[in-house]
Amino acid sequence: MLRYFTAGESHGEALVAFLSGLPAGLKVDQAFVDRELWRRQQGYGRGGRMKIERDTAHILSGVRHGITIGSPIAVQLENRDWKNWEESLPVGAGDAARHKQVASPRPGHADLAGALKYNFSEARYVLERASARESAARVAIGAIAKLFLHDLGMEVLSHVITTGSVTVHDHVPWEKVRSLYDRDEVLLNCADSDAEQHMKEEVDKVLKSGDSLGGVFEVVAHNVPPGLGTYAQWDERLDALLAAAVMSLQAVKAVEIGAGVAAAFSAGSAVHDEIGYGGSAFTGFSRAHNNAGGIEGGVSNGEEIRIRGYLKPISTLRRPLQSVDFSSRQPVKAAYERSDVCVVPAAGVAAEAMVALTLAKCALEKFGGDSMTETTRNFKGYLEQLRKY
């Protein structure tokens, strides 16, 4: 069974991620993992921290001589800013005078709910763990999940649909999503270059006004065979697992699979993907379109899986919103800490990691195997069964 966790505070010494249950014999390409981490740090509208972070994955266990050995994988991501926080956020008691308090909770953050829940007098410890810095750890292990999926012919990438008031309405084919991956400079990771320029203007506006933006990304999982996930039990449905995985990311407030939202306002005849017989990647069956986003009844159906994440605007504002001081209870402006103003491309990359981890988990449940030889043999046998169906 594939299991994963992360640990670490935003300004602590390091983030750590654990990935347990991958078969032995998977080649781990360090450069690929680091490029995924780089991709999460890109995008127009990111804050100053991205310049000091430059993440790299330090693999501590579970990989030897470049391949997985079936043991749990632990990955460490050093926080390069730690030297500036060592005294204010020490593991030991330290000097209370150097403690950097978050004196007033920031609306839209976990600050107030977290302080109430854990009975903290202010929000420093809440911010440290609730921060989306944690998503870097997910991207590191998500990259290893992607390498596993690559060996089964599957790829997971994302693109940006909406930033602020600018939206791309046309369908973006896989080839265009794939070509975004090769870019060495990421603006808003949008496949439509005109729209991307307008998106940049939207970000410029909020940069000037001290405000922030949200948006929509779409993750596309390409070449996923039919049969991952099941309708047999509610918590094994692929759509439910993917929705939870993407929703678990910081600032994602809605998730849509395929044409999910528009479908609710349309007639059935305009929505459901009619079935033909003329051949597709895995079987003789074909579809007129893919409004289902590659999942029917909680099972992948062989079409591309398309899942969108809707992000609320970034909560930390340079022109802060109203709040209350934790100790005096007097009205004050919310605390400000260095912040991004728009993170839609980065959130898309983090969502790719979550989709990849989910698909890898479902693939291992279906195909099993303690070594890649065994897993790929089982996988190929299943593909043969589909071809002969």
Structural contact between residues 278 and 310, judged by C-beta atoms closer than 8 angstroms:
no
Whether residue 267 contacts residue 253, with contact meaning beta carbons closer than 8 Å, is answered with no
Work out the number of other CB atoms within 10 angstroms of the CB of residue 96: 6
Q: Kindly identify the residues of this chain, within the stretch 23-52, that bind ligand FMN according to CB under 6 A.
A: 47
Interior/surface letters 260-278, b for 16+ CB within 10 angstroms, e for the rest: beebeeeeeeebbbeeeee
By DSSP bridging, strand 215-222 and strand 67-68 are unpaired
- Could you tell me the smallest distance in angstroms from the CB atom of residue 149 to ligand FMN? 22
Which CB atom, from 131 or from 376, has the smaller least distance to ligand FMN? 131
Query: Segment near ligand FMN (CB under 6 A), from 173-181, 286-294, 326-334, 342-350?
Result: 342-350
Structure tokens given for 351: 């969502």
For ligand FMN, the binding residue among 141, 147, 251, 292 (CB under 6 A) is: 251
Q: Is residue 248 near ligand FMN by the rule CB under 6 A?
A: no
Does the protein bind ligand FMN through residue 314 (CB under 6 A)?
yes
Scanning 210-296, the segments in alpha helix (DSSP H) are: 238-247, 260-263, 268-271
Select from 86-94, 216-224, 273-281, 313-321 the region that touches ligand FMN (CB under 6 A).
313-321
Q: Which of 77, 346, 356, 362 binds ligand FMN (CB under 6 A)?
A: 346
Residue whose CB is less far from ligand FMN, 77 or 350 = 350
Is 249 an interacting residue with respect to ligand FMN (CB under 6 A)? yes
Does 216 help bind ligand FMN (rule: CB under 6 A)? Answer: no
Q: Does 355 bind ligand FMN (CB under 6 A)?
A: no
User: Quick check: 343 binds ligand FMN (CB under 6 A)?
Assistant: yes
Backbone CA torsion sign across 254, 255, 259, 265:
negative
Which residue's entry shows tokens 């993170």?
A: 343
Contacts of 111 (CB under 8 A, 6+ apart): 102, 105, 123, 126, 127, 130, 335
- Give yes or no for residue 376 binding ligand FMN (CB under 6 A): no
Residue closer to ligand FMN (CB basis): 47 or 72:
47
Min dist. Cβ of residue 356 to ligand FMN (A): 16
User: Contacting ligand FMN (CB under 6 A), which of 39, 109, 146, 222?
Assistant: 109
∠ CA 271-277-280, nearest 5°, is 85
Selected range binding ligand FMN among 50-58, 73-81, 128-136, 361-369, rule: CB under 6 A: 128-136
Contact status: 254 vs ligand FMN (CB under 6 A) = no
Contacts of residue 18, defined as CB under 8 A and 6 or more positions apart, other chains included, come to 3, 4, 5, 6, 72, 73, 74, 75, 141
Q: Which residues bind ligand FMN (CB under 6 A)?
A: 47, 108-110, 130-132, 135, 249-251, 312, 314-316, 339-340, 343, 346-347, 350
